[in-house]
Structure formats: C-alpha cells, structure tokens
Amino acid sequence: MDFKLRVLVYLFIALLFVLQVRFGIFYRPEFRPRTLAEIERSAGDLSVLDKKARRAYSSGGMFEPIEYEKLNGSAWLKSHYEPGQTFDEFAASYGGADEKRNRLYLLPLGEFTSETSILMDKLKLYCSIFFNMPCEIMKPADFKFRSRINSHTGKPQLLTGDIIKAMNKLLPADAYAMLALTMTDLYPVSSWNFVFGQASLTGRVGVYSLARYDPEFFGRKREADYQRILLERSLKVMAHETGHMFYMYHCVFYKCLMNGSNSLVETDMTPMFLCPACLRKLSHAVKFDPVVRYGRMLEFFEANGLGTSAVWLKKRIEYINMPE
Ligand SMILES: [Zn+2]
Ligand SMILES: [Zn+2]
C-alpha cells in the first residue's frame, strides 16, 4: 500500500477509536457506577501534596458520590454515554492554559435590559474568580442570524450554527475561550424544539441561552426570589460550559458542577461547586490556591445573597484550614 494511503488509513482508524472511547458513537454501554475506591482515587495521588492541598482535593464527607440507582429515567446519565475522566487522565492530556491566550470573553447577544446587564456584570466577576483568569465583556454583537418563532412557545429563537460561525471571526487573539450569552431561546437544527446551548470546543467558542432560566419564559409568575434563582442558574451554566473549554469531561464520580444535565430540574439539583477531582483538574489548568479562590467565591456569594452556597463554602474553608 502507498505510504500516504497507509498513514491515512491509520489516522482514520485512530479517529474511529477516539469517537468510540469519547462519545460511544458505535456502541453505547450502560453507565458503570464507580466504586467508592475509584471515587476516592479520582483526584489522583494526594500523597505528593501538602496538608492543605490534600484536604482541598479530598471530599472530607462534603461531596456526595453519584447515586446511580436513585436517578430517574430522564436523568442525563441514563440517556448519555459518559466515559468519565479522572484527574490523572486529564493531567496526562492537558498541558495547562496557554500563556498567550489567557483571557475569557463573554459576549452579550441580542436584547439585554438593564436588569440582565447587571446579571452580565455579575457573571463576569464570578467567571474571573472561578477560572482565576481575567474575564471581559465584549461589546454587544450586532449580527444577523437565522431565526424562527417556536411553534410551542410562540417565542423567537436563534440558530446556534450561525452564531458559532460569527463568533469564530470575532475571537480575540488573546482569548482562551469566548462564551456568548443571550436572553433569546436557541435551536440547533430545524427538527429540534430548542437547545440550551452549543459549543465548538476546538474553536473554544460557545453560545448559551438564559431564556429558559426565567419562569416568565414559560408564562409562569416570577416569585420574589426569581432573581436569585436566575443568577444561580446562570452562574452554573457559565462555569460548567466554560469548564468544558478547559477539556473537563462530565463528572461521573461525585454530585458536581460538571455533571451532565438533561433538564432544568436536573440543573437545579446540580451543585454550584467542583468536586475534588474536577477542582484539581481546574487548578492544574489555571493554577490557584484553592483556599484563596474559595475565599473570593465566598465574598461573591455573600454580596449577592447566595446564602446556601456561602454557608457551604465557609465550612469547606474551615475543613481545609483545620489544624491536624
Ligand atoms: Zn456539559
Ligand atoms: Zn466532578
């Protein structure tokens, strides 16, 4: 066989192998719940770390393992193939954030009222704390995207593929990743009812809609605490989706911010925080002192009325700082 042809055949076989291992596109085995020993090992070898770091990357009883048998039929893990990714697997393939591309960008798309602009500012601050990287809001983009009116909701929707294409052209040279956020609903192809978001990981751009996080979208009354709920959901989606830009897979060990989600109900049940394994992955990528980062997150939660998360963080910081 011609040398070039042989190389092409090998590359093709390697591609099929990667597609199977990562996405299970040919054969989808049922999810295998991890054993407690596997969960404990998911954050890698902790013996090489100092005492505080060892605590930061161990559960200390503050993270619950995923209870696969208790998940209902519509849960993400019941309908999606997830290979899982330990800290060691992550570290073996990820060299760390790029020195030249060291900024995160948020791009507001479409109509933003003064209320949602405030939300954008909060997302920017949280993004810079969470990823320990400068985060900037770009000028609102004025592109024309294909759109339609959804027949179920009667609300306008934007075509995600058009947005991703436009974002590829807009991407600043120093961008590690760029996330577009919109209050308009999205759809990926005409046959789909809607989509929460879509990303191009190779292009490191993604677009996410916050429309369905507001009860008014479904014609429901906004309760007194709806702003808090909208903020919590938006922080979660921003941090989760940006986490994927750092090549973190969905978490299969603990109840964790990086768990996949099939619905708003599942998103609401997802924790605000990274489990020990995912936290160590992020710290490998962007280098931070977990206690300093938690302290900044705590300030943010206290300033924004997110009491439950603040209480958890205080306990977590106490646990890490505990004397022997
Ligand atoms: Zn995800
Ligand atoms: Zn995790």
Written as one string, the DSSP assignment of 68-104 is GGG--TTSHHHHS------HHHHHHH-----SS--EE
- Which ligand places an atom closest to the C-alpha of 66? 2
pLDDT-derived band at 56 (thresholds 50, 70, 90) equals very high
What pLDDT is stored for residue 231 in this prediction? 94
3-class state of residue 206 by DSSP: strand
At residue 116, does pLDDT exceed 90? no
Q: For ligand 2, a single-atom ion, which residues have Cβ within 5 Å?
A: 251, 256, 258, 275, 278
Distance 33 CA to ligand 2 centre (A): 14
Distance 32 CA to ligand 2 centre (A): 16
Better pLDDT: 311 or 183: 311
pLDDT-derived band at 24 (thresholds 50, 70, 90) equals low
- Please tell me which residue in 40, 82, 241, 318 is annotated as part of the active site: 241
For the full predicted model, state whether its pTM sits above 0.85.
yes
Better pLDDT: 244 or 98: 244
- Which ligand places an atom closest to the C-alpha of 245? 1
For residue 182, count other CB atoms closer than 10 A to its CB: 23
Radius of gyration over every alpha carbon of the chain, rounded to an integer in angstroms: 20
123: CB partners within 8 A, 6+ apart: 106, 181, 234, 235, 238
Helix axes 290-303 and 307-321, enclosed angle (nearest 10): 160
At residue 224, does pLDDT exceed 90? no
What pLDDT is stored for residue 27 in this prediction? 63
CA dist 131 and 189 (Å) reads 32
Mean pLDDT score, 209-213: 91
Distance 118 CA to ligand 1 centre (A): 25
End-to-end distance of the chain based on CA atoms, in angstroms?
Answer: 65
Active-site residue, 266 included: no
Domain positions in the chain: 31-96+246-324, 98-230
CA dist 210 and 182 (Å) reads 6
- Which ligand places an atom closest to the C-alpha of 249? 1
Distance 11 CA to ligand 1 centre (A): 28
Of 15-24, 214-223, 307-316, where does mean pLDDT reach its minimum?
Answer: 15-24
Distance 266 CA to ligand 2 centre (A): 15
Mean pLDDT score, 273-292: 96
CATH of 98-230, one of 3.40.50.620, 3.40.390.10, 3.65.10.10, 2.40.40.20: 3.40.390.10
At residue 5, does pLDDT exceed 90? no
How far CA 141 is from CA of 60, 125, 165, 266, in Å, comes to 45, 20, 13, 31
Strands 156-159 and 147-149 turn out to be antiparallel
- Which ligand places an atom closest to the C-alpha of 239? 1
Distance 275 CA to ligand 2 centre (A): 4
Distance 250 CA to ligand 1 centre (A): 6
- Which ligand places an atom closest to the C-alpha of 255? 2
What pLDDT is stored for residue 85 in this prediction? 95
Distance 322 CA to ligand 1 centre (A): 33
